[in-house]
Amino acid sequence: MSVLLEAIDLEIERGGRCLIDGLRLEVAEGDLVYVQGVNGSGKTTLLRVLAGLSRFSHAGTVRRFVDCLYLGHQSAVKTLLSPRENLLLHASGESFGGTDAVDTALKEVGLYGYEDVPASRLSAGQQRRVNLARLFLSARPLWLLDEPFTAIDSDGIGVLEQQLARHVRGGGAVVMTSHQPLQRVAASKTVILGDHNAARQPGTVVGLSDAP
Amino acid sequence: MNREPRPQQPTSLAPVFARLCMRQVLLRARRPVEVFQPFLFFALVILLFPLGLGPAPERLAVFAPAILWITALLANLLGIEGLFRQDLEDGTLDQLLSAPQSLYFLLLPHLLAQWIVSGVVLAVCSPLFAYGLSMSSGGAWVLVGSLLLGSGAMTILGALGAALTVGLRRGGMLVSLLVTPLYVPILIFGTGAVDAALEGRDAQPVLALLGGILAAGIALGPLAISAALRISVEN
């Protein structure tokens, strides 16, 4: 098993508050890292740092050894384009094979029949699903998913969890945040970020547990 | 556990570049109003000058190069401020910035599309307006050439201003303040070239200077824009 991502002595501070203090994280093939924490505990910030989107305002080292797929709160879906066009000509320029592959992925996320509808006519959940269809297409081994289940119904979450499990089994790795507990797939590591709103010891990573 | 990093195949750039260009084309084609906005602005403002200056051809002809160039500059400034705004808001920038390819090349389709809409179209149509302003036809080719080169350089400089201010809520005025001083040399060389051609002097040295500015902009501009965007998405 080789390492896909490592963070060493990561310290992140935002708005004068220390969000993460000395996090050491190693993500290897087959890992599913589940980042837990209340609102404002720094989950999104941590993921952006791991994705290399936030480069300057943290201490410590982050090293990515492979290409990563980052899915943030914004879906990067252009409402002027149809779901099919959004994926075939994705914002990242990533190749997803041909139209057939894209249509199959759209079917997987329940957008069958919406391939050619302008994305402006889709609901918020459907637009997110367009973005999540990337999980059925991308060849990038490391996935950094920030609240991927937001605005997705429970059936959809089931399909996505199965896809996460498949990716991890196939030698990929996932780092994800979510407010829903995972049901169909088990996290191999859990990062629990401190609650800075409560009177608890501020700014420490409360726990990093390795599941057996 | 083996701590070797996983070997990775290099990703090729050309197909990625082609897809991003196609994406720009489709996005622009779906909003034709925005595509024609700089041109409409250019046409409207130029049509106002004969009304303000009076229709005397010899008077208009004197000011024609300056009128055409300043209007082209303003048309460029008009659209540049929002170049990255929507992409920041909908997460497109995050996807570009987390892509494994060099941001330099990933940004070129953006710049190219903006240059075509706010520069090439105006440059190509400018002889028509020059004729309307009674400019002697001797300067027409130099006018087109100087506008092509100059608008390219202005687009790159303007994009840099847009990238620096994209994270701010009201960046519009700030971009103009940041960028207009940088446009000044381009404007001076641009009108200088056209004036030279009209007076029968050799316009090539001035055009070469404009070309030099553009070449430097192409080489260094996207690097600066990349860095500015990285700062803007940081937080």
Question: pLDDT at position B185, please?
Answer: 96
Judge contact between B175 and B80, C-beta under 8 A. yes
The alpha carbon of residue B171 is apart from the nearest alpha carbon of chain A, in Å, by 21
Residue type at A188 in one-letter notation: S
Residues of B in contact with A80 (CB under 8 A): 26-27, 30-31
pLDDT in tens, B67-111: 999 999 999 998 898 899 999 999 999 999 998 889 999 999 999
Judge contact between A184 and A158, C-beta under 8 A. yes
| Alpha-carbon distances, residue A74 vs A132, B29, B31, B81 (angstroms) | 11, 24, 22, 21
Shortest CA distance from A85: residue in chain B: B23
ipTM summary value: 0.86
For residue A46, what is the enclosing H or E element? helix A43-51
Residues of B in contact with A81 (CB under 8 A): 23, 26-27, 30
Cβ–Cβ of B16/A90 closer than 8 Å? no
Shortest CA distance from A172: residue in chain B: B6
Percent of chain A with pLDDT over 70: 92
In sequence order, the 6+-apart residues with CB closer than 8 A to the CB of A145 are A47, A71, A174, A175, A176, A177
In sequence order, the 6+-apart residues with CB closer than 8 A to the CB of B184 are none
Give the mean pLDDT of A11-29.
86
Question: pLDDT at position A197, please?
Answer: 45
The alpha carbon of residue B202 is apart from the nearest alpha carbon of chain A, in Å, by 45
Residues of B in contact with A91 (CB under 8 A): 23, 87, 91-92, 95-96
A143 phi/psi in degrees, rounded to 5: -110, 130
Question: pLDDT at position B204, please?
Answer: 94
Out of B8, B26, B233, closest to residue A53 by CB: B233
Cβ–Cβ of B5/A92 closer than 8 Å? no
Return the SS3 of A143: strand
pLDDT in tens, B173-206: 889 999 999 999 999 999 999 999 999 999 999 9
Of A200 and A45, which is predicted with more confidence? Answer: A45
pLDDT in tens, B27-65: 999 999 989 999 999 999 999 999 998 888 888 999 999
The predicted model scores a pTM of 0.89
Residue of A47, A78, A131 to mutate for B, most B C-beta atoms under 10 A: A78
How confident is residue A196, by pLDDT bands cut at 50, 70 and 90? low
Question: pLDDT at position B9, please?
Answer: 57
